[in-house]
Amino acid sequence: MGRIIDRLLQLGPVLLGVTVIVFLMITLTPGDPVEIMLGDMKSSPEQAEVLRRDMGLDRPPVERFFRFVGNALQGNFGLSFFHRRPVSEVIAERLPATIELTLAALLLSLLISIPLGALAAVHKGGWLDRTATVGSLLGVSLPGFWFGILLIMLFSVQLGVLPVSGRIGYGYEVPAVTGLLTIDTLLAGRLDSFLQALRHLALPAITLALPMAAPLMRVTRASMLDVLRSDYVTFAEAKGLSRRRVLWRHALKNALMPTVTIAALETGSLLGGNMIVESVFGWPGLGRLVVESIFARNYPLVQAAVLLYAVTYVLLNFIADVAYTLLNPRVRL
Amino acid sequence: MNRLSLVGAVVAGLLAGSASAADLRVGFSQDALTLDPANHRKRETETIIRNLCDGLLTRDSAMNIVPEVAESYKQIDAKTWELKLRKGVKFHSGAVLTADDVKFTLDRLTRDNAMGGQTSPRKDLLGPVSGVDVIDPQTVRIRLSSPWPILPAMLPFQELVRKGFVEKAGSAALATQVDCVGPFKLVEWRRGDSIIMERFADYYGGSPAIPPVGPARVNRVVFRIIPENASRVAALLAGEVDLVNELPVSAIKQVDGSGRAKVMKANGTRSFFVAMNLDKKPFDDPRVRKALNHAIDRKLIIDRVLSGTAVPLNGVLSPQAFGFNPDLAEYKYDPVLAKKLLAEAGYGSGLALTIDAEGAFKDVAEAVASMLQRAGVKATVQVWEGAVLTPLWRDPAKRKDRDLYFTSWGNGSLDPSDIMLPTLRTGGRGNSAGFSSARVDQLLDAAEVELDPAKRKAMYFEAQSIVNAAAPWIFLWLPQDLYGVSNRVTGWTPSPDSRINLHRAAIK
Amino acid sequence: MSAATDVAGTAIAARSPAAEGFARFLENRLAVACALVVLAMVLLAIGAPWFAPHDPNETDLLRRLQPPVWLDGGEWAFPLGCDALGRDLLSRLIHGARVSISVGTVVILFATVVGIAAGLLAGYLRGWVDTVISRIVDILLGFPYLIFAIGLMAMMGPGLHNVAITLIAKEWVVPCRLVRGETLAAREMEYVEAARAIGVGPFGIMIREILPNILSPVIVVATIRLAHVIILEASLSFLGLGVQPPIASWGSMVADGREFMLDAWWVSTFAGLAILVLVLAINVASQGLRDAFDPRFHD
């Protein structure tokens, strides 16, 4: 119980600190959103003034900071400068795509890393072990932006089997329930749409999953080795339980603890890092929107997004703690 | 869905992204910011909206101004214009358009706080419009606070909305919902991914000046948002889209040689130039300025780096703009002359200059720099973020230590007022060089309110000559807009104002 | 266990754990091979002006997008082809190694030093020092990397120095957390108690007693992170926030060539391969290091 409270208390200063940093960066960063918005179409100084007032940029930074915090606590994150609609609306529209991609990548990397890691540990030193190790090192060494482009060139242009970009072909009806296309299409029983969604998800999820699968595999392997060597496994074997049962019932469950912990943490960094993948694959997610917003100096959106990421990071840490407890009842929360 | 058709659908779905024969898919570089015609300032957003919403006037692909929802227009006096509206123009919801809707649209654009408390960011595009009067259900009069000969040139930038709809649903609803008079109506907007439109059967037909008149010839139009250049081209080559905008120069060979698509070009409206900081030595010396102009082999850069898809310029105007002066002197490529001029001015060796440029133009700026190097100038390129570089060069105080600025300015209305005022008038917003000529200012100001087109033209001619002789910039070129178009598409040609109007496009 | 305790004397001369680990490392032939590859690249980078056949910044528009020698239109003088401005790709790749390796090394060095200092202070002194440092670490970790980097670069402007500063600002938390954890464990150990008993001050304990004993995992992590940092620098350069032209970074070369992937694929591909090879070699070598020094892997 103490740990829960501890974690939640941690949320406060982290959020505040993150907000302060963002505000400082914004204030110190050159670039004027009003100028960007005016572009080079006909404009007058009056128009610039009107826009500046609309965006709240005619107030001093300190006042803007407190105004922002005050509004944020009530759930109001202001209007996006360029969409001229509430930031929360704009973010909420783009969030499901990022969540879906992240979850798909997470699932994929777990599916790859856990069996591989466990098998590599069991057959330590064998060819599977060595191949898996080199493979995982390869996964972590690939620059995502380059690899993504290569995948598109190969599968979409040369072979033509997978689509180039987007989430789903336009001709498919998508009843929105969760915003995650794969789940929504399944819920509605639309198999063809589901397959389309999967096809579009494939390449970006693979590009995102590979760098994550690598450390997960190594951690699974390492902790599996630990567990295999441990006393209670030897004890279980001595009791006469079949090796297979020992492995897959007892050893794996305990070996998974560090894997789950690291997976939760890596997901946090995934959210922060999938911007490049989203850009390369034209995935309409939040990451791409945030990068565009930074370049366009769309302050309200950047501020809100950073807060969102910070909250997610702390929550994921929290989940990692809870999962750790659940998988090992000996550790008290 | 019975089992057989389900299997068929699955197989078909697995094999390729399906495309019904009467659907046109556009691979587009940016999502619309909003669907409210009055609440944005982005050309790409307008391109999308223009398929859903028509305006009073529009332009054909030769950039002539033609009536659209308006049937005719005339000038009553120096400060009043009258427009007659067509009869029987229907909104997507079925309501009929009247003068009240026109007044409402224009008021919404030009009055402060008229958009549910917000003021339209497009207000100044209608400059001195001071009021709109409804004369009868088919006639409106627009009143101006001062004479403005370019009102017809600026009206094509605005699209009409329905008064009843906005009053009922609220101004903010227009951001995501559309009830307009355009050839297509909105089916779905999947943010960041695509915008799906379908043919509006009761469309009034469109401008009679641009045949064929009638409802759209395709069933559906889909704008697929693909910001990555290479992905957009890949989508075209893979047959996933039928039309792409902003085709990169490097893809020309590929697309033309693909057998399923071709490249279509239109003269753009964005003039490129390198502004020199006239307030700083050595740019105060006209010999240096002329030398730098003579040092650049524009033809080579256009041929090699831009694959021939640009028109060299000796001034700021596009050859298709009103009042373009074709007799401006060309600063011929002559590195020997350049070196001579520099030596005369006392900068024979060791002149070190930096060209500021945005990342997107790094390559071309470096090509320019390498040519300056061959003329003996130690030129380097410094790449900046657009958001930082633009305000830097617009502020005389901030730019006082900078040298050269590789930049451009757009002229969507193809009228000199729109581009010469900001870039060449003293104190203009885009006058990064700090150019100042009393005579040019006088000419530009007079031309703003001059109603006789012949006199206006003469004024602009003279202004361009003065600028050309003074050479405040290294004059560069006007790039063409490149589009990749599938062979399935007919009835569409690109337009210099970047519009992609699909009303008359058809799929073979 | 420091080498000092071995002096207690045994008939057989025992090697220090460091030397033991190193010997084990040398037995791993793959890891050694990769370490040599890294060394080779470092030497190439240092000697770039001599190894590169051409001036990497010399443009020649007539050679624009010339293919590599084994394709139609290529020539031996420009074996890997030319980029969009006609510059020799091979020379740019060799000079690009300088950027990647120097930025990576500088960032890891500074980040490790700062991280060690912060980690020692937080772990040993505890109290409010620990709270402050841990909060800062938490806040920095909660900030998504790319947004932080882009934001900082937007603030400071592009350029290699600013890239290095940005990367250091995020990277130091990694060694800091590790060192803090190790310090927390180490401060309860006997040798620390002993040192305290004879009156060694806190800084003396941190630097002379604890630090040498936690150095090896720190070094292993540093080498692993080096690979990561090199990719991060490439990503930033890819986004246009890194090096200034005409300097080439492998990341910026991939970005420059992205447009031409469909027909002039060589501009991006070789640069991406270079990143892959260097990073892979570092990863394999550092994996070998970890295996050699980690007590779990030997019985």
> Best mutation site among A146, A152, A164, A293 for testing chain C: the one with the most C CBs within 10 Å?
A146
Q: How many CA atoms lie within 13 A of B472 on its CB side?
A: 22
In 3D space, the residue among A204, A298, C153, A27 whose CA is nearest the CA of residue B359 turns out to be C153
Cβ atoms of B433 and B475 within 8 Å: the answer is no
pLDDT for C224 equals 80
Longest dimension (CA), chain A: 87
User: In this predicted structure, what is the pLDDT of residue B16?
Assistant: 44
What is the pLDDT at residue B4?
Answer: 46
Inter-chain CB proximity C84 and B363 less than 8 Å: yes
pLDDT at position B102, please? 93
- Please check whether residue A28 touches B, CB under 8 A: no
pLDDT of res. B89: 92
* SS3 annotation, B266-295: EECCEEEEEEECCCCCCCCCHHHHHHHHHH
B366 to chain C: which residues are within 8 Å by CB?
A: 59, 85, 245-246
Tell me what percent of the residues of chain B surpass a pLDDT of 90. Answer: 54
CA angle B267, B269, B270 (to 5 degrees): 115
How sure is the predictor about B408, in pLDDT bands with cuts at 50, 70 and 90?
very high
The helix-helix angle for A252-281 and A87-122 (nearest 10°) equals 130
Q: Which residue does chain B place closest to C155, by CA atoms?
A: B388
Most C CBs within 10 Å, among B29, B247, B307, B362, to test the C interface: B362
Low-confidence ranges of chain A (pLDDT < 50): 331-333
* pTM exceeds cut of 0.90: no
A152/B231 Cβ within 8 A: yes
The conformation of residue A175, written as its DSSP 8-state character, comes to -
Is the confidence at residue B479, as pLDDT, over 90?
Answer: yes
C19 against B317, higher pLDDT: B317
Q: Are the Cβ atoms of C258 and B230 closer than 8 angstroms?
A: yes
b/e per residue C143-165 (b: at least 16 CB within 10 A) = bbbbbbbbbbbbbbbbbbebbbb
Q: Which residues of C touch B362 (CB under 8 A)?
A: 245, 256
Which burial class, exposed, middle or buried, applies to C73 when counting CB atoms under 10 A from its CB (0-12, 13-18, 19+)?
exposed
What value does the mean pLDDT take over residues B288-317?
92
Best of B124, B151, B198, B226 to disrupt the A interface by mutation (most A CBs within 10 Å)? B124
Interchain CB distance below 8 Å, C59 and B305: no
- Which residues from A are below 8 Å from B422, CB to CB? 40, 42
Residues of chain B with Cβ-Cβ distance to C246 below 8 Å are 366, 380-381
Does pLDDT of C35 surpass 60?
yes
pLDDT-derived band of residue B481, with 50, 70 and 90 as boundaries? very high
Spatial strand order of the sheet with B351-358 comes to B377-384, B351-358, B404-410, B270-276, B473-475
Kindly report, residue by residue over B202-216, the tens digit of the pLDDT.
999 888 888 888 888
pLDDT, one tens digit per residue, over C118-128 is: 999 988 888 88
pLDDT tens for B364-404 read 998 999 899 888 899 988 888 888 888 889 888 989 899 99
Among the partner residues C61, C64, C240, nearest to B383 by beta-carbon distance: C240
Chain A touched by C146 (CB under 8 Å): yes
Residues of B in contact with A170 (CB under 8 A): 25, 190, 194, 196, 222, 224
Reported as a single tens digit per residue, the pLDDT across C239-295 is 777 777 778 888 888 888 877 877 788 888 999 899 889 988 988 888 787 777 766
Instruction: Give the distance from residue B391's alpha carbon to the nearest chain A alpha carbon, in angstroms.
Output: 6
> Among the residues of chain C, which ranges form H helices?
17-27, 29-46, 48-51, 89-120, 127-142, 145-156, 160-171, 173-186, 190-197, 202-204, 211-238, 250-258, 266-293
Q: What angle do CA B27, B33, B39 make, to 5 degrees?
A: 135
What ipTM does the predicted assembly reach?
Answer: 0.78
| B420-429, B482-491, C1-10, C78-87: the lowest-pLDDT one | C1-10
Position C189, amino acid: M
pLDDT at B385: 80
Distance in Å, alpha carbon of A89 to nearest chain B alpha carbon: 11
Instruction: Check CB contact under 8 Å for C144 and A10.
Output: no
> Crossing angle of helices C211-238/C250-258, nearest 10°?
20
C13, pLDDT greater than 60: no
pLDDT band (50, 70, 90) for residue B354:
very high
Higher pLDDT, B427 or B276: B276
Q: Is C79 exposed, middle or buried (0-12, 13-18, 19+ CB in 10 A)?
A: middle
Can you state the angle between helices A191-229 and B3-15, rounded to 10 degrees? Answer: 70
Q: Which chains contact B through at least 3 pairs of Cβ atoms less than 8 Å apart?
A: A, C
What local confidence, expressed as pLDDT, does residue C183 receive?
Answer: 85
Q: Is A62 exposed, middle or buried (0-12, 13-18, 19+ CB in 10 A)?
A: exposed
Rg (CA), chain B: 25
Pairing of strands B477-486, B310-312: antiparallel
DSSP B367-433: HHHHHHHHTTEEEEEEEE-HHHHHHHHHSTTTTTT--EEEEEEE-TT--HHHHHHHHHSTT-TT-TT
Interface test with C, best of B385, B390, B482 (most C CBs within 10 A): B385
Decide: helix, strand or coil at residue C237.
Answer: helix
Could you tell me which residues are beta bridge partners of residue B383? B357
Q: Comparing C-alpha atoms, which of B227, B236, B273 is closest to residue B256? A: B236
User: Which residues of chain A have a CB within 8 Å of the CB of B172?
Assistant: 85
Backbone angles phi, psi at B342, to 5 degrees: -65, -40
- When the pLDDT of each residue in chain B is averaged and rounded to a whole number, the result is 88
Residue type, B404: L
Pairing of strands B351-358, B404-410: parallel
Max CA-CA distance within chain C? 77
Q: Which of residues 169-228 of A touch B (CB under 8 A)?
A: 169-171, 174, 191-193, 195-196, 199
Helices (H), chain A: 2-28, 33-38, 45-54, 61-73, 87-122, 127-141, 144-151, 181-187, 191-229, 231-239, 243-245, 252-281, 286-295, 299-327
Under 8 Å CB pairs connecting chains B and C tally to 68
Q: Is the pLDDT of residue B307 over 90?
A: no
**pLDDT tens for residues C40-97?**
999 999 998 998 899 888 888 888 888 998 888 888 889 999 988 889 999 999 999 9
Contact A43 B228 (CB under 8 A): no
Structure tokens at B380: 């380097």
Report residue B160's pLDDT band, with 50, 70 and 90 as the boundaries. very high
Within 8 A of B10 by CB-CB distance, chain A residues are 191-192, 195
- A135 in contact with C, Cβ within 8 Å: no
CA–centroid distance for B180 within its chain: 23
Q: Which residues pair with B378 in a beta bridge?
A: B352
DSSP per-residue codes, B324-361: --TTPPP----HHHHHHHHHHTT-SS-EEEEEEEEGGG
Round the CA-based radius of gyration of chain C to a whole number and report it.
23
CA pair distance B498, B246, nearest whole angstrom: 9
Q: What is the mean pLDDT of residues B328-335?
A: 91
Mean pLDDT of B347-357: 87
Which of B228, B230, B301 is facing C262, going by the closest CB pair?
B230
Q: How far apart are CA C271 and CA C278, in angstroms?
A: 11
Structure token digits, residue C49: 């002006």
Residues of A in contact with C234 (CB under 8 A): 143, 145
3-state secondary structure of B93: coil
Helices and strands, counts by H and E, chain B: 15, 21
Partnered with residue B410 across adjacent β-strands are B270
* B270: pLDDT strictly greater than 60: yes
Q: Which residue in the set A42, A168, A297 is minimally distant from B124, CB to CB? A: A42
Residue pLDDT, tens place only, C162-196: 889 999 998 999 899 888 888 888 888 888 888 88
**Do A146 and A158 meet the contact criterion of CB atoms below 8 Å apart?**
no
Q: What is the pLDDT of residues B165-214, one digit of tens each?
A: 999 998 889 999 999 999 999 999 988 888 999 999 999 988 888 888 88
Q: Any residues with CB less than 8 A from the CB of C230 and at least 6 apart, and which? A: C100, C101, C103, C104, C275, C278, C279, C282
Q: Nearest Cα to C164, choosing from C226, C103, C239, C222?
A: C103
C85, C157, C260: residue with CB nearest B366: C85
Mutation target to probe the C interface, by most C beta carbons within 10 A, among B236, B244, B263, B370 is B370
Query: Chain B contacts of A167, Cβ < 8 Å?
Result: 190, 193
Confidence grade of residue B97 (pLDDT, cut at 50, 70, 90)? very high
The pLDDT of residue A171:
63
Which amino acid makes up residue B376?
G
Kindly report each contact of residues A311-316 with a partner whose C-beta sits within 8 Å and lies 24 or more positions away, as own/partner. Answer: A311/A11, A311/A15, A312/A268, A312/A271, A313/A14, A313/A268, A313/A271, A313/C141, A313/C142, A314/A7, A314/A10, A314/A11, A314/A14, A314/C138, A314/C142, A316/A264, A316/A265, A316/A267, A316/A268
User: How many residues does the structure list for chain C?
Assistant: 299
Decide: C143 and A310 in contact? Cβ < 8 Å.
yes
Displacement of CA A179 from its chain's centroid (Å): 16
DSSP state of B485: E
User: Would you say C111 and C284 are in contact if contact means Cβ atoms under 8 Å apart?
Assistant: no
